[in-house]
Amino acid sequence: MASMIEDLLRPENLPDPTQSVRLVQTHISLVFVGDRFVYKVKKPVNFGFLDFSTLDKRKYYCQKEIELNSRLTKDIYIGLLCVTRNKQGFKIEASPRGDIMDYAVKMRRIPEEGLMKNLFAKGTLTNRHLRRLAGVLADFHSRAATNSEIQEFGRPERFKVNTDENFQQVEPYVGITIDKKAFSTIKRWTDSFYKRHEPIFHKRIEQGKVKDGHGDLHMEHICFEKEQISIFDCIEFNDRFRYADQLADISFLLMDLDFHGGAEHARFLWNCYKDLASEEEVEDLLTFYKVYRAFVRGKVTSFQLDDQHISGVEKDKAAHIARKYFALALEYVTQ
């Protein structure tokens, strides 16, 4: 993979003219950022809940990523390209002229000044932005697909599969990114929530609130461009992370704002959204999903500590961020 990365960081090996190429890594993707376009390659990883271990699977999930993200974007996802290799090395091509080694999703580069995370960081994220966003999300959730299969994922015993998996996968990081007491406290609170609030899960199913949502709704995945709001990078790799109560979607964004010091923004967004989505008396369940989201972010950030392609400095930074996410989850359950 190192040689592929090295080759694809050369502008001449990308399909569109660009003066420079920058690499952004996540625990599951390599993202090559050019001047006008972005090319996203899935890493050959298998975390159990996510399996990109074969070429066919990576192709399938690239195609699914393009399809699912068309729900909340108009012109960002352009198509599927091939990562090829010949004697000269690796290239990304629309029409392969070498052996197909992998696949890439081609995307229009989003103006970074319009990203919600950057607007927030600069102090230019306004109530108007949040009110418009609440409208987009409420409309999306009202139209999002649901059926008997999707609704099953709103049952407490089905959603508990997600939280049980989280605790199991975080156990190796106890004492590293989360201390034992915090881990036990969050797990005990989560497990008891299912018992104490079981009826509300069933009520939400009856109300039609369990939908095929976004699944990864945080500030890095939202862009404001003039009068258009684009929401991208939804979960494509595991349906059960999208099939959930719509509160599981909005809670992620609220948690993200809290994490970055935007509690007032979070409250305003929630108040706008709950009015538009006709949400009443769901504060306890909202907190449950915020705990879940903070814990998931702590988990996936912890995974970077085992990524051989990430430097020691980056791993130290990831560990610090993971600790902050777990601390926020603990704050939610003890407040």
Domain count across the chain: 2
Q: Are residue 92 and residue 199 in the same domain, yes or no?
A: no
- Pair (155, 184) in one structural domain: yes
Helix ranges (H only) for 226-280 are 246-259, 263-276
Mean pLDDT of 101-105: 98
Rounded to a whole number, what is the distance in angstroms from the first to the last CA of the chain?
45
Helix/strand/coil for 59:
helix
Q: Which domain holds residue 150?
A: 114-334
**pLDDT range class, residue 308, cuts 50, 70, 90:** confident
Q: Is 20 exposed, middle or buried (0-12, 13-18, 19+ CB in 10 A)?
A: exposed
Q: What CATH number corresponds to the domain at position 45?
A: 3.30.200
**Does residue 101 sit in the same domain as residue 119?**
no
Alpha-helical regions (H) of 9-126: 55-69, 116-122
Look at residue 307 and tell me whether its pLDDT is greater than 90. no
The CATH number that applies at residue 209 is 3.90.1200.10
Please report which confidence band the pLDDT of residue 97 belongs to, taking 50, 70 and 90 as the band edges.
confident
- State the Cα–Cα distance between residues 308 and 290, nearest whole angstrom: 30
Residue 135 and residue 62 share a domain: no
On whether both 166 and 62 belong to a single domain, the answer is no
**Quick one: tokens of 210?**
């369990």
* pLDDT for position 309: 78
Tokens of 266: 């979070």
Is residue 128 within 8 A of residue 117, CB to CB? The reply is: no
Q: Quick one: pLDDT band at residue 232, thresholds 50, 70, 90? A: very high
Of 109, 136, 159, the position where a domain reaches its end is: 109
Angle between the N-to-C axes of helices 283-303 and 156-170, in degrees from 0 to 180, rounded to the nearest 10: 30
Same domain for 239 and 163, yes or no, is: yes
Q: Tell me: do 77 and 169 sit in the same domain.
A: no
**Dist CA 88 CA 29 (whole Å):** 24
Could you tell me if 285 and 209 are in contact, meaning their C-beta atoms sit under 8 angstroms apart? Answer: no
What is the value of pTM for the model shown? 0.91
On whether the CB atoms of residues 311 and 266 are closer than 8 A, the answer is no
Least confident of 154-158, 204-208, 305-309: 305-309
Summary mean pLDDT of the chain: 96
Question: Are 205 and 170 in the same domain?
Answer: yes
Asked if residue 171 and residue 289 are part of one domain, the reply reads yes
DSSP assignment of 145-198 equals: ---HHHHHTTSHHHHHHHHHHHHHHHGGGBTTTB-HHHHHHHHHHHHHHHHHTH
Whether 102 and 205 map to the same domain: the answer is no
Q: Could you say which of 55, 85, 109 is where a domain stops?
A: 109
Least confident span in 17-26, 63-72, 302-311: 302-311
Residues 186 and 268 in one domain: yes
Is the domain of 96 the same as that of 192? no
The answer to whether the beta carbons of residues 107 and 95 sit under 8 Å apart is: no
End-of-domain residue from the set 109, 134, 164? 109
Q: Report the pLDDT averaged over residues 18-40.
A: 95
Structure tokens at 312: 């020691």
| Closest CA relative to residue 76, chosen from 108, 36, 30 | 108
Handedness of CA 90, 78, 138, 49 (dihedral sign): negative
| Residue pointed to by tokens 């001047």 | 35
How far is 58 from 41, CA to CA, in rounded Å?
Answer: 9
